[in-house]
Amino acid sequence: MEKYLVIHGPNLNLLGTREPEVYGTLTLNEINQKLMEMAEKYRVQLEIIQSNSEGEIIDFLHKNSNVKGIIINPAAYTHYSIAIYDAIKAVNLPTIEVHLSNVHAREDFRRQSVIAPACIGQISGFGFNSYLLALQALITQVS
């Protein structure tokens, strides 16, 4: 069975209570449950983590480089983590960057992603559906 990584970056553990007008009311566990339900339909496995630590995210990428693809919401690391960019490039797997909010309609600093050039695509602005769209796109791209 094909396996994919889902990486949630910093502060996403606070979903459901953190700025619900921006990020929605679903908790991270609820989003993960929706992802797992979709994975079951597609008959794929997901390995899901959330970390507030850049180093943990990089270690997770390195240790799981045998998967078919990656979905990552780098959160605030989107705008400055060359280290995560380098790790994605190093594992050389199809990766989709995801954001719950439309980062291009927010503050200027949120519009720049240093991660996106390492990815095959970016999906933002569809709330939790951004993750589901990314999973569908990723499965389609690697099949």
- Rounded CA-CA distance 23/14 in Å is 10
Determine whether 131 is an active site residue: no
Torsion (CA) 16, 11, 86, 33 in degrees, nearest 10:
-30
Determine whether 99 is an active site residue: yes
Catalytic residue among 4, 23, 77, 85: 23
Catalytic residue among 4, 8, 85, 99: 99
Catalytic residue numbers, as ranges: 23, 99
